[in-house]
Amino acid sequence: MDPFEVRIRFTGLLQHLNASLTSANKAAQYALKYRDMDEDLHSCILEQLERNTMNIRANIMYFLEYLCDMAARENHWDYVRMIQRDILRIVDAVAPEDGSGAANVKVVRKVLKALEIKTFLLAQTVGEIEECLKERDIAPDTVGLSSPLGPQEGRNGDSKEASTPTGKGARGTPFGKLDRKQAEQRIEEDRERHKRQRETAWAVSRDENEFERVWNETGDLGEDDFEMWKEEAEERTRAGREWKEEYLGRIGGGGGE
C-alpha cells in the first residue's frame, strides 16, 4: 500500500477511537501491520493529539496503552521507545498547561500509572510528570464537563457568556469549554470504560496448574472412604423410603376426604 494511504487510513482510525476495545485493538493492529512505517505512524499520533478535540485526545491517550501492550507481545519495541521519548509532548497535548485539557488530567494519570505498572515507563518519569499535572488539575466545572448543561447555560440550553469578558479561566489562562455534544459523548464513553473496568475486576485468571494442585492435595482412597459412601447411600435410601410413605399417606388421606 502507498505510504500516504497508510497514513490517511491510520489517521482515520485514530479520529474514530472511542471507549470500545474494538476500535483501540483495530488501530493497534494496523500500526503493527505496517510496523516498517512506525516512525511515520507515530508522527500521525502526535499530529492528531495536537490538532483534535479534547475527547479525541483522551481516546488516543487510552489507545497508547493498548499499542504498548500489543507491541510488547509482538516484540516490536520501537513504538514503546518512541512513546517513552515523546511522553512529555504527549502529556502536554492531552492536558495542556493553559487549562483547556483539565478534564483530561485524570485520563493522563490513569494511563501513566498503567504504563508504569507494566514497566513501559519509569516510576521517576511518572513522578516528575505528576508534579506538572498538579498545576493543571482544576475543577471539572471550569471546562463544563460535570454536566452536559454547564452552570453558564440557560434553561433553554442557550449558552451565556462567561462571567469573565476575556473568556479566560480563574488563573487568567484561556481554556476551551466542551460544548453540549462533546460533554455528553465524554460522559457516555467514561461510563462505558467504568463498566468495563468493573467487569475486569471480577474476571478470574486461568490457573494452568489448578488440576495438578488439587490432585496432589487429594488423599489416597481408603477403606474409610468406602465406609462413608456406604453410610451415605443407606441414608439416601432411608430418606427416599420415608418420603414415599409420607407421599402415599397424603394421597390416601386426600382420597378419603
187-198 per-position pLDDT tens digit: 777 777 777 666
192-210 residues labelled b (16+ CB within 10 A) or e (exposed): ebeeeeeeeeeeeeeeeee
| pLDDT at residue 84, as a whole number | 96
Average pLDDT of every residue of the chain: 80
The pTM for the full model equals 0.62
For residue range 55-66, list pLDDT tens digits in order: 999 999 999 999
In Å, how far are 173, 196, 205, 251 from 201, measured between CA atoms?
A: 39, 9, 10, 53
Distant-in-sequence, close-in-space partners of 90: CB < 8 Å, separation ≥ 6: 46, 49, 61, 64, 83
| pLDDT at residue 219, as a whole number | 74
| pLDDT at residue 253, as a whole number | 63
Map grid coordinates 455534544 to a residue: 181
Q: Which of 17-21, 26-30, 67-71 has the lowest mean pLDDT?
A: 17-21
Closest to 38 measured CA to CA, from 90, 77, 93: 77
Closest to 111 measured CA to CA, from 129, 98, 96: 129
- Contact status, residue 24 vs residue 62, Cβ threshold 8 Å: yes
- Contact status, residue 150 vs residue 186, Cβ threshold 8 Å: no
pLDDT at 35 > cutoff 90:
yes
| pLDDT at residue 183, as a whole number | 74
Instruction: Read off the pLDDT of each residue in 92-99 and give the average, rounded to a whole number.
Output: 90
In Å, how far are 60, 66, 252 from 42, measured between CA atoms?
A: 12, 14, 84
Distant-in-sequence, close-in-space partners of 26: CB < 8 Å, separation ≥ 6: 13
Q: What is d(CA 240, CA 5) in angstroms, rounded to the nearest whole number?
A: 76
